[in-house]
Amino acid sequence: MMKKHNLIIKKLATIFVVLITILSMAVVPPAQACSRLVYQGSSNGPITARSMDWLNDPGTDLWVFPKGMKRDGGTGCNSITWTSKYGSIITSSYDMGTVDGMNDQGLVANLLFLTATDYGKIEPGDKTLSIGGWGQYVLDNYATVNEAVTELQQEPFRIIPATVKDILSQNLGLDIPEDQSQLEFTLHLSLSDPSGDSAIFEYIDGKLQIHHAKEYQVLTNDPIFDQQLGLNTYWNQVGGGSFLPGTNNPSDRFVRASYYLAEMNNNWISELQKNRRNEIAAALGIIRNVSDPLGLSGFGVSTTVWRTVSDQTNLTYFFEFTKSPNVFWVEMSKLNLEEGAPVMKLENVDSLSLVGEVSGEFQEAEPFSWDLSSVLDD
């Protein structure tokens, strides 16, 4: 009887958290606080760091995908198909999508929330790709940012976004109120590679916009990236480095991250940080500076659930779950990424036992699916 009671309490608690998520999205534009930055402080090569902010733990797992995997876009008869050219280590959310990761060429993909996203109208015959597979498609197919930009600007597919109903009802079996079920999880994508090159991909008013330049080192959520670019000019005029905006507003986080990166990248500090361990710590310090502490969550505000740091020279993927005092990492040289190797999964990323290099902790598993064809047919 006690066990049954505990199960009921646990299910009610899960439903309560999900309903809070839905209500927050319905009543207030979601102030998701994800941030991404590329630290290029020395000749040791770039480091990409990002934070993931959400109202609750978004079902986080780490995965290892080998080369040679047969993939499809997960959208039914018009889905694109491909075979992965590169192996990767990635972080998933809700077992529905790749939201962060690095492939064996050092290309890093980060997906962040963007309210203004509009993926546009899908015409009959358009090749399509589920939003959950967008990041993985890039990691599977491209070695450099320039290669990705060259091919993706041809728009070989159209993105099909997932809705609250698609994600939450499929994963938790909940009936979502109709007026809230069509709210979309809308994202923009950032890429960086071992040369320090960077690109931002956004769909605005139904059109793909690509911002491609090495200096595009910082990305937050709203506003759209065109408007983010003007923020540093404004704050240099107003504050001149004497003070910085301190809220968790995406614009404020963009300015703070940009300021610290500029300071860390000057020649004097670069000499002090040439040690790779120091550089990793520096990148982690900046991404922590633009994170939200546990307990801040509320209507329209999120808390930082996890952070990643990708060493694109040594192909090492660092992970920090914010409820854990430990940072752990995976050295890709210790993974089997060859064609025919099994898919591997690391669950319980909040475990206190995860510390140091953890490639040996992954277990063989069936890959998650970003398939939306069943809900598209409804």
Give me Rg for the CA atoms of the chain: 20
Q: Which residue has the tokens 């953890």?
A: 358
CA nearest to 259, candidates 60, 251, 343: 251
Q: Mention every residue, 6+ apart, whose C-beta is less than 8 A from residue 315.
A: 102, 104, 106, 331, 332, 333
Q: Show which residues are catalytic.
A: 34
Q: How far is CA 36 from the centre of its chain?
A: 9
In order of 92, 212, 306, 323, 357, the CA distances from 349 in angstroms are 11, 33, 9, 10, 13
**Residue 359 and residue 29: Cα distance in Å, rounded?**
39
Provide the token pair at 345: 């999964």
In a 3-state reduction of DSSP, which class is residue 127?
coil
The one-character DSSP state at 42 is: S
In order of 31, 50, 227, 257, the CA distances from 251 in angstroms are 11, 16, 9, 10
**Residue 163 and residue 142: Cα distance in Å, rounded?**
28
CA nearest to 331, candidates 303, 305, 360: 360
SS3 content of the chain, % helix, strand, coil (to 5): 30, 30, 40
